[in-house]
Amino acid sequence: MSVSISLQPVQPGKSTIRAPFAKALQVVWAWRQNLEDRAQIRHFLERADDRMLKDVALTRATLADEAGRPFWQN
């Protein structure tokens, strides 16, 4: 499922009630995108075989360590 949101840029120096809300929405959207991107990478790495992991200098143990980290830590 993909959701598309279009935000208009906030003009500098223009104080409106919408500006803080728009900025907060942009931050939340960027955070959500980051989580989605990381989930896709994790899913790809789970399916990779040992030869592919060796090509990118990873091991199953490294992947297990990374998978065990909380989602808010990079």
User: What per-residue confidence (pLDDT) applies to 26?
Assistant: 93
pLDDT tens per residue, range 29-72 = 998 998 888 888 888 888 889 899 999 898 999 888 887 887 77
Contact 10, 35 (CB under 8 A): no
Residue 53: is it exposed, middle or buried by C-beta count within 10 angstroms (0-12/13-18/19+)? middle
Which structural domain, as residue segments, surrounds residue 57?
Answer: 19-67
Note whether residue 63 is domain-resident. yes
Q: Is residue 36 part of a domain?
A: yes
Assigned domain for 3 exists: no
pLDDT of 3 above 70: no
Query: Is 1 among the domain residues?
Result: no
How many residues belong to the chain?
A: 74
> Rounded to two decimals, what is the model's pTM?
0.57
Q: Is 6 part of a structural domain of the chain?
A: no
Residue 41: per-residue pLDDT: 86
Helices (H) and strands (E) in the chain, counts: 3, 0
Residue 11 domain flag = no
Position 8 in a domain: no
| Tokens at 33, concatenated | 């995108």
Is residue 13, in this structure, part of any structural domain at all? no
Give the total number of structural domains in the chain.
Answer: 1
